[in-house]
Amino acid sequence: MLQLRDYQELSMDGLREGFAAGHRCQMLYLPTGGGKTEIAISMLAATAEKDNRVAMILDRRVLCDQTSTRLEKYKIEHGVLMAGHYRYRPAEKIQICSAQTLEKRGSFPGLKLLIIDEAHSTRAFVAEFIKNNPQIKVVGLSASPFTKGLGSIYTNVVSRSTTRELVDAGSLSPLRVFIAKEIDMTGAKKIAGEWSQKEATERGVKITGDIVSEWVKKTHEIFGGAKKTIVFCAGVAHGIDLQQKFSNAGYNFVCLSYKDDDEFKKEAIEEFSKPDSEIHGLIATDILTKGFDQADVMIGISARPFTKSFSSHVQQLGRVMRPHVEKESAIWLDHSGNYLRFKDQWDALYSGGVDHLDDDTEKPKPEPSDKEKEAAKCPKCGSLWPFNSDICSHCGMVRERKNSVVAVAGEMLELTVQAEKKEKYSSEFKEQWYQGLIDHLAENNKNENRAYHLYIEKFGIAPAWKKIRGDYSCIAGLDAIRYLQRANIAYAKAKK
């Protein structure tokens, strides 16, 4: 039986409030991995129970099949509107179909509610269908609703959960970002404001050796061996070259592209989804950006530079952030420059979600200077410097700060960097930090007593609360988890 999580119920409440306020077309924002499909299925079932017809539109046949399989899992009767499909049952109240199928049909008699998956890439015909059928309520689903023109379709945005909240709650995995050797796009030709894929491919091929060697280094350094990886390449030729370079290094990576038939792509993804798969990684440009929901992928490699497509960047990051029992954090190796290019936007989305549809979101971004790029990463391991810290959370390197000497009226004073003032934490924050870390350690089969000692180390006093096991309202936040990770790194270094 389908059971929504608390934050998913909040999203449903937001949609109900929006419809009650007179919004016919609404956009539901939820981070990738937050369970938009489960919310959609709940809406499908609720509408059908009231004897109304409802349809969900997806943009690829494989996504229609995945959604149908999910409905079967919950024993919800439905039909799939595609020629020759084994579940072709046009009389069912719930219908799953592709945007192409809707375009061919031209109409959908008696429809009460239309749900559109990946609504940030709504096709022109679907937008026209919505406009010409004002009696149909519409819900668009997206983790990146930044495409120009969405505001002309949807009059309300429901955003009840942020990426930060889901990471803090353990519903998504935190990211560990490494700024690696970047594809040089200086002077590259642009088409419609985005770098030419042809030029991105040609320039990407020049650093395939660096991409492979960086992956080999990090996967062994962090995990002790190869872990499942997805690679976003700049183009088909780049993907093929990467596949060959990985093979030369002794690893089995499979390149997928529009040139491969659907059966080959399906078989490769199914093999990769097996826990004991012989495939170490998949390589693609766009195929893995939508509908790829494999939780045990540990590493993502960004090797397709964007100058303005923040939406694509967000979708790619989301593919590695799904939680898994073996995943303490997801590793992101950035060879495209996208992470720093979109960092301000990502930080705002990460903490604040989406509160309106803005046509100005996707414009070419100014390139960070070489100085800014160097300052953003650890010079030893390439890890992104943690916010407000001079200690690398990956390798433990301490960033050197230079002292200044100033002469004043015959007297020489040495001005050293002031010790960082201790932050004033509320009692509620400290209790949640402590109890949450206990739960985090216990859930990962670690000694939960470490929380006591780490608390003293961080706050300078012993915790004033008794341990509470199983109180999942007190889940360790990102601050506590990162503190634990830094302590583990320091311990490992000292032991070595």
Residue from 333, 346, 318 nearest 383 by CA: 333
Please spell the DSSP secondary structure of 69-116, one letter per residue: HHHHHTT---EE-STT-TT--TTSSEEEEEHHHHHHH---TTEEEEEE
Asked if residue 325 has pLDDT above 70, the reply is yes
Domain locations along the chain: 6-161, 166-368, 427-495
Q: What is the pLDDT of residue 494?
A: 66
pLDDT average, residue stretch 82-94? 90
389: pLDDT strictly greater than 90? no
Among 87-96, 171-180, 294-303, 406-415, the least confident range: 406-415
Between CA 335 and CA 354, with CA 303 as vertex, the angle to 5 degrees is 90
205-220 pLDDT, tens digit per residue, is: 999 999 999 999 999 9
Q: So what's the pLDDT on residue 472? A: 42
Sign of torsion over alpha carbons 440, 444, 448, 453? negative
* Res 133 pLDDT > 90: yes
* Span 20-38, pLDDT tens digits: 999 999 999 999 889 999 9
Is the pLDDT score of 460 beyond 60?
A: yes
Q: Could you check whether 6-161 and 166-368 share the same CATH topology?
A: yes
Which DSSP state fits 421?
P
Would you place residue 412 in the very low, low, confident or very high pLDDT band (cuts 50, 70, 90)?
A: very low
How sure is the predictor about 165, in pLDDT bands with cuts at 50, 70 and 90?
A: very high
Q: Are strands 79-80 and 137-142 parallel, antiparallel or unpaired?
A: unpaired
Q: Where do the H-state alpha helices sit in 444-496?
A: 450-459, 478-495
Tell me the residue ranges of DSSP E strands in 94-221. 94-98, 111-116, 137-142, 156-158, 175-179, 190-191, 194-195
Query: For the segment 326-338, what is each residue's pLDDT rounded down to a tens digit?
Result: 999 999 999 999 9
Of 193-202, 282-291, 303-312, least confident by mean pLDDT is: 282-291
Of the chain, the percentage scoring pLDDT greater than 70 comes to 91
Check whether 221 has a pLDDT greater than 70.
yes
- Evaluate if residue 414 carries a pLDDT over 60: no
Which tens digit of pLDDT belongs to each residue from 357-379?
877 677 888 788 888 888 888 88
Residues 141-163, mean pLDDT to the nearest whole number: 92
Closest-CA residue to 57 (of 26, 39, 81): 81
| pTM for this model (two decimals) | 0.76
pLDDT classification of 388: cutoffs 50, 70, 90: low
Q: Does the pLDDT value for residue 417 go beyond 60?
A: no
Mean pLDDT over residues 438-465, rounded?
83
| Cβ neighbourhood burial of 299 (10 Å; 0-12, 13-18, 19+) | buried
Is residue 270 over pLDDT 50?
Answer: yes
pLDDT digits (tens, 9 = 90+) for 422-437: 455 777 778 888 888 8
The hierarchical CATH code for the domain 166-368 is: 3.40.50.300
Query: Which pLDDT belongs to residue 475?
Result: 47
Calculate the average pLDDT of the chain. 86
Question: Do residues 298 and 320 make contact, with C-beta atoms less than 8 angstroms apart?
Answer: yes
Give 473's pLDDT tier (boundaries 50, 70, 90).
Answer: very low
Could you give the CA distance from residue 439 to residue 306 in angstroms, rounded to a whole number? Answer: 39
Task: Name the band, by pLDDT with cuts 50, 70 and 90, for residue 416.
Answer: very low
The CATH topology of domain 6-161 is Rossmann fold (3.40.50)
